[in-house]
Structure 1
Amino acid sequence: MTAIPVTIGRRMPVPAASGSLGAPAAPGAAPGAVGVGLPLVDSHGRVHRDLRISLTDRCSLRCTYCMPEQGNEWLAKSSILTVDEIVRVARVAAADGITTFRLTGGEPLLRTDIVEVVARLAGLTGPDGGGVEVAMTTNGIRLPQLLPGLIAAGLSRVNISLDTLDRDRFAALTRRDRLEDVLAGIAAAAASGLRPVKLNAVAMRGVNDDELVQLVQFAIDHDVQLRFIEQMPLDAGHTWDRDRMVTQHEILTTLATRWTLTEVPGRGGAPAARWLLDGGPHTVGVIASVTAPFCGDCDRLRLTADGQLRNCLFSTTEYDLLPTLRTPADPSVDAGIDRMLRACVKGKLPGHAINDPAFLQPARGMNAIGG
């Protein structure tokens, strides 16, 4: 099978499995699985261990930095990956060394089969027989009802989005009056055995930059971790304005008026740099994709809800897995998935180039790419 990357608006052919994409099969690999079982290493030496899987582009909120309130063009239901298709891709990825699967959206808890997805992913093993970790990023609205079943199915960690503690501000920012539901989801996660529970807050000038200390104190009071995120050019309306972005430096300067901050060493491939608050044990994180990119340690790939592989959140190229997954009765599907994973990894650039004058924002919004 031929790996076909799709640049939004046009298609470009990529060589079929040969050379670096056609490494010998590892011991125990499925028959005909070219390269299955070998690590996913890009041309810059980065070993990939994390696959973000978007389950849907739909969401119960309409955050201004993510998607418009109306006029959204949703993915066709027929193009959304089934549970079997998701698991098939994940099984090959696990054999190739992926150890963490993070479920995203849109809002992943809108999938009626979400517990089954978690259970089947949690049952996968890597090439050494070790288990995998299944995490989730959610707005938390449906967590009180679903969390017990998700934990029983094997969910390991959860991140919940919370940009403000003010009800009117939340309604204006998300275009939905659902703050109490989100807070109930956070309370449910905090009361569960999942640790760490993380809260994600996008810092925005003139919107919530006066709440930074309050948000951190809320996290401390609920024994969860807060991570601030620099606002990125990923809104569907392409209205991102660098001047409205609150930088990592500004965030830390504000927090330093309340706590003594000590940077935690050994970040590795984690997207957030962390700081101890007054010596610990509580920490705060900052994901500074714009002002302090961490591309050199990135170990992540992404799978969209409609079966497109992406090697960067900001990539303008996608690798279409649907033809491979939906070839009837083809015994070489696993080999085709493996080749596509390797083509995607091979095409990964050194960085996202947000700060390059020639940077182009992805055509898809965050909800369609996956958080």
Structure 2
Amino acid sequence: MESSVASPLLDRLGRPVRDLRLSVTDRCNLRCRYCMPREVFGPEYAFLERDELLRFEELTRLARIFVGLGVRKLRLTGGEPLLRRDLPDLVAALSAIPAPTEDQPGLADLALTTNGVLLRRFAPALAEAGLRRITVSLDALDDATFRQLADTNAPVGTVLDGIVAAREAGLDPVKINCVLQRGVNDGRLEELAGWARDTGVTLRFIEFMDVGTTNGWLRDRMVPAAEVAERIAARWAIEPVEPTHHGEVAERYRYLDGAGEVGIIASVSRPFCGDCTRARLSAVGELYTCLFAARGTDLRALVRGGASDGELTAAVAAVWSARSDRASELRAEAGLSGPRVEMSYIGG
């Protein structure tokens, strides 16, 4: 790197950049209705061509730039990241980024979010390459509800087996993300929580969000965090847990009987924009500073145009220091208005 920073890079609201989500593809092998509804992302949909995607060396270079500016955690996303060919090679390159020291920034965590369908096949190679943690999106345990939500013929057992494979490979504890929708899968909330307790995985319930403009979001379909916590507490004794770090998005609760913990991500009912430390990089190298943004800043053009590390660092720093996003705090009763990037394009 040609330059580094001695003090944290802050945006206009005083928020540091600490987390970077790297999308490696816009494609997915499921068609979950809150993310990629089939009537929009059907056979005629024009997905990105391979030569448009950032190459692994480009992704690694940009990741190092962000780490130099204060990012401590990288998370690989999609679309479905396991569809990206040779993904363990990227994991190996990213895991080689040095850890932080007292006087130098560095990478403290490397994670991946997946729908789990291909996890049995790739978990061992990902772990061997240096992946540290994995999060699996799972919205139901029964086949009928799972297939309805994911719009797929794949059985939920494929995902459950992938979770087993991840734990066997050493990617443990596994985290599970569940998006709750009223009248769809909220009736099985306690079943999911009980399964997570018995299995030893960490479950996080996520409020249904108006990400993008194609998922048919309605506030009435969102199950608020307060209701989720009340229903869990009615079944098992819990107590809140203090955040482990600045910018932690999940409200965490500990089971008093020692069976782990459960989290709730309340982006709609209790927005946490004031503590948001996340940047997002699309698969074609666009920098987004908010999950609900309409457009990003093209970094690929700089990378492929011969920009130096110093120039890339300055470009990223300029974008972040000008950031003032707080979309969830400004959400109206009917939801966000105007154009927004789709979740499948930059990851959740």
- Give the TM-score normalised by the residue count of structure 1: 0.86
Q: Find 1:345's aligned residue among 289, 313, 320.
A: 320
Any gaps of 5 or more consecutive residues in structure 2? none
- Cα distance in 2 for partners of 1:344, 1:274 equals 31
What is the Cα deviation at residue 359 of structure 1?
A: 3.4
Partner of residue 222, structure 1: 199
Q: Is the 8 A contact 1:160 1:186 kept in 2?
A: yes
What is the Cα deviation at residue 67 of structure 1?
A: 1.0
Partner of residue 104, structure 1: 77
- Cα distance in 2 for partners of 1:158, 1:146 equals 12
Q: Is the 8 A contact 2:37 2:215 kept in 1?
A: no
Partner of residue 20, structure 1: none
- Cα distance in 2 for partners of 1:235, 1:297 equals 22
Partner of residue 247, structure 2: 269
What is the Cα deviation at residue 286 of structure 1?
A: 0.3
Amino acid in structure 2 at the alignment position of 1:66: C
Partner of residue 221, structure 2: 244
Number of aligned residue pairs? 337
> Is 1:59 paired with 2:28?
yes
- Cα distance in 2 for partners of 1:163, 1:186 equals 14
Partner of residue 270, structure 2: 292
When you count helix as a share of all residues, which structure comes out higher?
Answer: 2
Amino acid in structure 2 at the alignment position of 1:339: A
What is the Cα deviation at residue 213 of structure 1?
A: 0.6
Partner of residue 132, structure 2: 156
What is the Cα deviation at residue 73 of structure 1?
A: 2.9
Partner of residue 176, structure 1: 152
| Secondary structure at the counterpart of residue 256 of structure 1 | helix
- Cα distance in 1 for partners of 2:90, 2:5 equals 23
Partner of residue 309, structure 1: 287
Q: Is the 8 A contact 1:314 1:361 kept in 2?
A: no
What is the Cα deviation at residue 132 of structure 1?
A: 3.5
- Cα distance in 2 for partners of 1:238, 1:141 equals 22
- Cα distance in 1 for partners of 2:191, 2:263 equals 15
Q: Find 2:311's aligned residue among 322, 336, 339.
A: 336
Amino acid in structure 2 at the alignment position of 1:253: E
- Cα distance in 2 for partners of 1:48, 1:246 equals 30
| Secondary structure at the counterpart of residue 21 of structure 2 | strand
Partner of residue 17, structure 2: 48
Any gaps of 5 or more consecutive residues in structure 1? 1-28
| Secondary structure at the counterpart of residue 211 of structure 1 | helix
Amino acid in structure 2 at the alignment position of 1:65: Y
Q: Is the 8 A contact 2:286 2:298 kept in 1?
A: yes
Distance 1:346 1:131, change over 3 A: closer
Q: Is the 8 A contact 1:37 1:97 kept in 2?
A: no
Amino acid in structure 2 at the alignment position of 1:98: V
- Cα distance in 1 for partners of 2:10, 2:172 equals 30
- Cα distance in 2 for partners of 1:269, 1:345 equals 16
- Cα distance in 2 for partners of 1:220, 1:106 equals 28
Once the two structures are superposed, what CA deviation does each residue of 1:267-315 show, in whole Å capped at 9, x if it has no partner?
Answer: 5311111001235341110000011111111111000111100111112
> Is 1:74 paired with 2:47?
yes
- Cα distance in 2 for partners of 1:354, 1:209 equals 26
What is the Cα deviation at residue 128 of structure 1?
A: 2.0
Structure 1 stretches of 4+ with a deviation exceeding 6 A read none
What is the Cα deviation at residue 36 of structure 1?
A: 5.6
- Cα distance in 2 for partners of 1:309, 1:74 equals 19
- Cα distance in 1 for partners of 2:90, 2:212 equals 27
- Cα distance in 1 for partners of 2:68, 2:315 equals 14
Distance 1:266 1:172, change over 3 A: closer
Distance 1:129 1:98, change over 3 A: closer
What is the Cα deviation at residue 111 of structure 1?
A: 0.7
- Cα distance in 2 for partners of 1:94, 1:278 equals 37
| Secondary structure at the counterpart of residue 10 of structure 2 | coil
User: RMSD in angstroms over aligned alpha carbons?
Assistant: 1.9
Q: Is the 8 A contact 2:285 2:299 kept in 1?
A: yes
What is the Cα deviation at residue 364 of structure 1?
A: 2.4
Partner of residue 301, structure 2: 323
Partner of residue 57, structure 2: 84
- Cα distance in 2 for partners of 1:212, 1:101 equals 30
Partner of residue 233, structure 2: 256
